Amino acid sequence: MNIEGSIALVTGGNRGIGRHFVQQLLERGAAKVYAAARNPRTVDVPGAIPLALDITDPDAVAAAAAVATDLTLLVNNAGTATGSDLVTGDLAKIRQELDTNFYGPLGMIRTFAPILARNGGGGILNLNSRMSWISYPGVNAYAVSKAAAWSMTNGVRLELAGQGTQVTGLYLSSTDTDMMAGWDIAKNDPADVVTVALDGLEAGAPEVLADQETKETKASLAA
């Protein structure tokens, strides 16, 4: 996936890791970057194109697709964490996590895959998580949604190979964003995560493991 000259769309592009994706894509020579957010007025990266988008709303996704007809790179970054467990947690919040972290990115892929095909194939980068592979009390709904997103990423990679679309999954541990603000633990610098992710995307990697903790977790699965 060549970033230089690409036309990219970043979901959740107004803050956190998404904002860093928008910045670094422009710095690497992307010709156009749509920074999608529920409130496009919060997009403040110079050179970015604000785009109204709620990935859980099919009508909003269709409207975004009608604008971004030139797309060659989709970055599925938007996500949520409600801090819910599975047995005692609010079922509505569990559904919210699946809607945002699984069905939302899947809906984006289903809508934009034909556009990518028409524009030569392009690429998709899905922001997943080390929590795709582990469970932890207090975030088990999130873990379920990210496990589903891992499997979805692997599945659509196979389904879209025939149209020449590269699908890369990004996996990371705790990172210094608003989502992790309440956790007093060591965290990745989001700018570093994005640098590693885009390097992997350009190298054609099917998976990018952004930090040592994530690499160790993935390597431990066979045990």
- Read off the pLDDT band of 184 (50, 70, 90): low
Per the DSSP assignment, residues forming a β-bridge with 92 are none
Rounded average pLDDT over 194-216:
95
Q: Note the pLDDT tens digit of each residue in 42-51.
A: 999 999 999 9
Work out the percent of the chain whose per-residue pLDDT is above 90: 89
Please give the model's pTM, rounded to 2 decimal places: 0.93
Nearest to 105 by CA among 74, 71, 72: 74
Domain borders along the chain are: 7-219
Counting beta carbons within 10 angstroms of the beta carbon of residue 221, is it exposed (0 to 12), middle (13 to 18) or buried (19 or more)? exposed
Q: Tell whether the model's pLDDT for residue 19 goes beyond 80.
A: yes
Q: Tell whether the model's pLDDT for residue 143 goes beyond 70.
A: yes
Rounded average pLDDT over 187-205:
90
Q: Tell whether the model's pLDDT for residue 159 goes beyond 80.
A: yes
What pLDDT, on a 0 to 100 scale, did the predictor assign at position 189?
A: 85
DSSP string, 182-222: T--S--B-HHHHHHHHHHHHHHT-SEEE-SHHHHHHHHTTT
Q: Tell whether the model's pLDDT for residue 181 goes beyond 60.
A: no
Q: What distance in Å separates the CA atoms of residue 115 and residue 63, rounded to the nearest whole number?
A: 13
CATH 3.40.190.10, applies to 7-219: no
Quote the tokens at residue 118.
């028409």
Q: Write the CA distances from 41 to 13, 22, 88, 111, integer angstroms.
A: 11, 15, 37, 24
